[in-house]
Amino acid sequence: MTRLDGRVERGNRTRRSVLARTVEIASVEGLEALSVGRLATELGLSKSGVFALFGSKEELQLATVREAGRIFAERVVRVVEEEPAGVGRVWRLCEAWLEYSRGRVFPGGCFFYEVVAEFDARSGPVHEAVARAQRDWTAYVERTVAGARDAGELREDTDVPQLAFELVALMETANGIAVLRAEETAYRRARVGIAARLRAAAVEPERVPETGGENK
């Protein structure tokens, strides 16, 4: 049993090290850039050992999407879990996302921004996993906005899906421009836009930062 447990733990460590590298590669080059041979060479592992962990390139891609989702949840979603429902929580969520992109949690910026563009017009399990991750994120933003409306901090007539769509669009545009141009001005502009949109919908606009983080 001890020997078996040791093998399992070594396998788990190897799997974690492989996925730590695959999310980096995919965020820059896309999921199609992943290969057993490349990972074995870069990490000093045997090709058979890497293949045994995943069984196919598709499963490697799916595991990479799941790992990226775990990291994303840790760095963005969990940051706001203790925040009470309201405009402040919406703002904090947007800030956490922009910091996730700006801080290059993944070398290529937002992991899902990269792979959505890669798999948006395709079909199959990887497409479905990527689409599900995108839907889950949008739904979470919508719930956060709805929570602020239900708490009485956004106007009752707030169109929740529309506001959530606009906030996500501002964040993703900032990510795309910042990665493409290697500059951070886009993050400031996104904060200004997010703050303006929230102030327009807020019952008490003064609850939203006036400058939208202009000095950050």
User: Per-residue pLDDT for 214 more than 50?
Assistant: no
User: Per-residue pLDDT for 64 more than 90?
Assistant: yes
User: Residue 189 and residue 31: Cα distance in Å, rounded?
Assistant: 30
User: Residue 75 and residue 5: Cα distance in Å, rounded?
Assistant: 31
pLDDT at 212: 42
Domain presence at residue 146: yes
pLDDT at 135: 97
Among 114, 121, 132, 113, smallest CA distance to 30 is for 114
Domain presence at residue 57: no
pLDDT at 86: 97
pLDDT at 9: 73
Which residues, in sequence order, are CB contacts of 31 under 8 Å at separation 6+?
Answer: 61, 64, 65, 115, 118, 119, 126
The answer to whether residues 154 and 202 touch, using CB atoms and an 8 Å cutoff, is: yes
Radius of gyration of the chain from its Cα atoms, rounded to whole angstroms: 20
Domain presence at residue 188: yes
pTM of the predicted protein model: 0.90
Q: Match 């919908």 to its residue by tokens.
A: 201
Which range marks the domain in which residue 92 is found?
Answer: 65-207
pLDDT at 180: 96
Mean pLDDT of the chain, nearest integer: 93
Domain presence at residue 139: yes
pLDDT at 10: 78
With bands split at pLDDT 50, 70 and 90, how would you rate the model's confidence at 211?
A: low
Domain presence at residue 26: no
pLDDT tens readout for residues 137-159: 999 999 999 999 999 999 999 99
User: Per-residue pLDDT for 208 more than 80?
Assistant: yes
Q: Stretch 21-40: mean pLDDT, rounded?
A: 96
Q: What are phi and psi of 198, to 5 degrees?
A: -70, -40
The domain total for the chain is 1
With bands split at pLDDT 50, 70 and 90, how would you rate the model's confidence at 133?
A: very high
Percentage above 90 pLDDT, the chain: 90
Sign of CA dihedral 186, 211, 195, 85: positive
Among 185, 187, 191, smallest CA distance to 211 is for 191
CATH of residue 72's domain is 1.10.357.10
3-state SS record for the chain: CHHHHHHHHHHHHHHHHHHHHHHHHHHHHCHHHCCHHHHHHHHCCCHHHHHHHHCCHHHHHHHHHHHHHHHHHHHHHHHHCCCCCCHHHHHHHHHHHHHHHHCCCCCCCCHHHHHHHHHCCCCCHHHHHHHHHHHHHHHHHHHHHHHHHHCCCECCCCCHHHHHHHHHHHHHHHHHHHHHHCCCHHHHHHHHHHHHHHHHHECCHHHCCCCCCCCC
Q: Stretch 78-98: mean pLDDT, rounded?
A: 96
Domain presence at residue 144: yes
With bands split at pLDDT 50, 70 and 90, how would you rate the model's confidence at 216?
A: very low
Q: Stretch 54-82: mean pLDDT, rounded?
A: 96
Output 210 or 80, whichever has higher pLDDT.
80
User: Per-residue pLDDT for 171 more than 90?
Assistant: yes
